[in-house]
Amino acid sequence: MKYIIVKDTKIVGIETHKFDTTPNVGEWIEVDDSLDIPGGSTWVDNALVLPDPPNYSILRLHEYPSIPDQLDEIYHNGIDSWKAVIKVTKDKYQKPS
């Protein structure tokens, strides 16, 4: 088993065992080991509430090369090479139609 610490519906900790806490830390809730608890999840009405998945633009933002790296790509290899580099991320996280 694993234990989550919940305060005001926000999951503030995930532990493999309980330990003494003060009441202002939150309450312990026992959950199954196999339960995947992604960041941003909450606990509401005795149920895990998953965060909304990030949209394509947020996902792209974290995968695009930095602006200096993109400018270096253009300078050293040209616009067509840069377009090919960017297309990999655009294809991976396509804009909804």
Q: What is the pLDDT of residues 19-32, one digit of tens each?
A: 877 767 888 888 88
61 plus 86 within the same structural domain = yes
Per the structure, how many domains does the chain have?
2
Residue 54: predicted pLDDT: 75
Question: Is pLDDT above 80 for 94?
Answer: yes
Q: Nearest-CA neighbor of 9 among 41, 55, 56, 52? A: 41
Q: Range of 67's domain?
A: 56-92
Residue ending a domain, among 33, 49, 65, is 49
pLDDT at 42 over 90: no
Over the stretch 51-92, which tens digit does the pLDDT of each residue have?
787 788 888 888 999 999 999 999 999 999 999 999 999 999
Whether the pLDDT of residue 2 is over 90: the answer is no
Taking the C-alpha atoms of residue 84 and residue 82, their distance in angstroms, rounded to an integer, is: 5
Helices (H), the chain: 56-63, 67-77, 79-92
Instruction: Write down the pTM of the prediction.
Output: 0.47
From residue 43, give the alpha-carbon distance in Å to each of 32, 63, 67, 78: 14, 30, 38, 50
Distance CA 94, CA 63 (A): 13
Do 64 and 27 lie in one domain? The reply is no
pLDDT score at 95: 87
Indicate whether 84 and 68 sit together in one domain: yes
